[in-house]
Amino acid sequence: MNSYWIAHSYPSVCNRCADYALDDHSKYLAAFIISMVLQGFGAVPLYVLGVTYLDDASPHGTASVHIGIVRSSSNTTTD
């Protein structure tokens, strides 16, 4: 049996399932998008103020190593 035959044999069942699946996934998608936007807003000060803090707080001559570690770790993680 293929999906075309099932959809035309039982249209009311397939329509209800499709509507339920669309509504169910759209809620998760909206929550995911909102959480990613909030995470983006929260990460902005880390990139702007974090490097300045490391430059001021680390001993002379080692700031470049610490900034390099922060930058490389931010490239390997997901934002």
Write out the chain's pLDDT in tens, 79 residues. Answer: 455 555 555 555 555 565 555 556 788 889 999 999 998 888 888 878 888 888 899 888 898 898 888 888 876 665 5
**Dist. CA 17–CA 34, nearest whole Å:** 26
Question: Which amino acid, one-letter code, is at 30?
Answer: A
Give the pLDDT score at 32: 93
Q: Does 9 fall in a domain?
A: no
Q: Which residues contact 43 (CB under 8 A, 6 or more apart)?
A: 79
Q: Does 30 fall in a domain?
A: no
Q: Does 4 fall in a domain?
A: no
Residue 67 structural domain: 40-79
Please provide the distance, in angstroms rounded to a whole number, between the alpha carbons at the two ends of the chain.
44
Q: Does 21 fall in a domain?
A: no
Among 70, 68, 69, smallest CA distance to 50 is for 70
Q: How many domains does the chain have?
A: 1
Q: Does 59 fall in a domain?
A: yes
**Dist. CA 78–CA 66, nearest whole Å:** 20
Q: Does 11 fall in a domain?
A: no
Q: What pTM was computed for the model?
A: 0.46
Q: Does 18 fall in a domain?
A: no
